[in-house]
Amino acid sequence: MNDDDARELIRSVIGEVAPEADLDSVGPDEMIQEALDLDSIDFLNFVTGLHERTGLEIPERDYPELATVDGCVRYLTHATT
């Protein structure tokens, strides 16, 4: 998966979890949870959504890497190569 695909995927999953959220308004190093007002259930849904789309197992200890948009992109591109 390349960067663009990863970004698209993230956008799509966020769109399901929080339909009114505007991912474009989140800066690359901003905390997604804070910026989009996601609670732990939302975040779990987000991570589960990524899992369902990619088949990736995302252990809880990896959650901190998914805290920002850039972090998510990096995680997804690395994990799928």
Partner 1 sequence: MGDFKMPSLGADMDAGKVARWLVKPGDVVHRGDIVAVVETEKSTIEVEVFQAGVVEEILVPEGTEVPVGTALARIGAPAEAGAPAPGPVPPAAAVPAPAAPAPPAPVPAPAAPAPPAPVPAPATAAVTEHPGVVVSPVVRHLAERLGVDVHLLEGSGPGGRITRADVEAAALVPVGERPVSAVRGRRAPARRRRPAPQPAPSGAGGKRVSPWARRVADDLGVDVATVEGTGPGGAVVERDVRAAAARETAPPAPEGAKVHRAPTEPSASDERQAAMRKAIGALMARSKREIPHYYLSTTIDMSRASRWMEEENATRPMTERLVLPVLLLKAAALAVASVPEMNGFMVGDTFEPSAEVHVGVAVSLRTGGVIAPAIHHADRLSVDELMAALRDLVTRARRGVLRSSEMSDPTITVTNLGELGVDSVFGVIYPPQVALVGFGRVVERPYAEDGMVGARPCLTATLSADHRASDGHRGGRFLAAIDHLLQSPEGL
Q: What residue ranges bind partner 1 (CB under 8 A)? A: 18, 20-21, 33-34, 37, 39-41, 44-45, 47-48, 51, 57-61
- Between 6 and 36, CB nearer to partner 1: 36
Phi and psi at 26, nearest 5°, equal: -90, 125
Amino acid at 48: T
CB of 51 to partner 1, least distance (A): 5
Compute the distance between CA of residue 80 and CA of residue 1 in angstroms, rounded to an integer.
6
CB of 14 to partner 1, least distance (A): 12
**Structure-token match 């991912």, residue found:** 23
